[in-house]
Amino acid sequence: MVQMGELFVIGDLHFSRGVDKPMDIFGKAWENHTERLCENWRRIVGDEDVVVVNGDISWGLDLQEAVPDLLLLDSLPGTKIIMKGNHELWWTTMAKVRSVFKEHDIKTLRPLYNNAYLWPEKAVLICGTRGWNVPGDEGFGENDAKIYRREMMRFESSLAHGRKLAANYYDFRESLRDDLGADPCEIIGPSEQDSEIPGRNELETLAFTHFPPFVFAKRECNEFTDLIEKNNISRCYFGHIHGMTMKERENGGLPPVWRKNGVAYFLTAADYLKMEPVIITGTDI
């Protein structure tokens, strides 16, 4: 049987190999951050692992400026599921992104955008969207409201796509990749016919966003968190928030920054994680 990997997460890589955007102006936590992050990644993550990168990957203003950062990320071990952040100005259309992937032979990056990913052997369904400022955030205005509603729709699309992928996951076999009518890359992990597939009731849906889906400053719920709860999601991972320090990390674990109505919310910004991808499969919440 193929060795089964683990699921990791880290956000806010803020690579800038194609533009002049030094991150150390934001403090000591960002000194030599690219080198430190890559060194930690290669030490922690293996080729069989999957890493969700939930936004703010590159400072590039267009795809050509982002290519050096995408190539760097592609060179790191594991399959990378990537998402938009508020700085993903280079991410225009999926067609253009996939075209650049093909042009530069980028093979390990999988966009999460109005879709979902299923890891049958781990009984994990990966859904998410960028998110945005939410009602109750300081300065939230009419334009924010429009983008917020659009991001909620994209999250619903991701969840719907996930339900489609999950419908027959307990019968997963190599041929199911075609039967699902989905992009073959949306089935991740090993695919041998004798892989152990958990029962239907054991499937867990994990939510990933870039922006916190709640009012971070006040720890307040909204329609976005209602949607997370409605879909029986018990874990949500987000980035975007910088400057926080993690006082305790037991055995490399990641404590939630907030719990509400049965959902644990985790901050995954790279500076918070000390530039180390953190494992989230098999963790106890």
pLDDT score for 251: 57
pLDDT score for 180: 42
Structural domain contains residue 52: yes
Domain span at residue 38 reads 7-279
Which domain CATH number covers 49? 3.60.21.10
pTM given for the model: 0.89
Structural domain contains residue 285: no
pLDDT score for 27: 85
Give the separation between CA 129 and CA 55, rounded to whole angstroms: 9
Q: Mind listing the pLDDT tens digit for each residue in 48-75?
A: 999 999 999 999 999 999 999 999 999 9
pLDDT score for 117: 96
The mean predicted confidence, pLDDT, of the chain is 87
Structural domain contains residue 110: yes
> Of 52, 69, 54, nearest to 16 (Cα)?
69
Structural domain contains residue 1: no
Proportion of the chain above pLDDT 70, given as a percent: 85
Q: Is residue 82 within 8 Å of 109, Cβ to Cβ? A: yes
Structural domain contains residue 284: no
Give the separation between CA 70 and CA 1, rounded to whole angstroms: 31
Structural domain contains residue 206: yes
Q: Domain tally for the chain? A: 1
Tokens of 233: 């999601």
Structural domain contains residue 74: yes
Give the separation between CA 263 and CA 231, rounded to whole angstroms: 11
pLDDT over threshold 50, residue 177: no
Q: Is residue 192 within 8 Å of 1, Cβ to Cβ? A: yes
Q: Could you give the residue ranges of the DSSP H alpha helices within the chain?
A: 33-44, 63-75, 94-103, 142-166, 176-179, 223-230
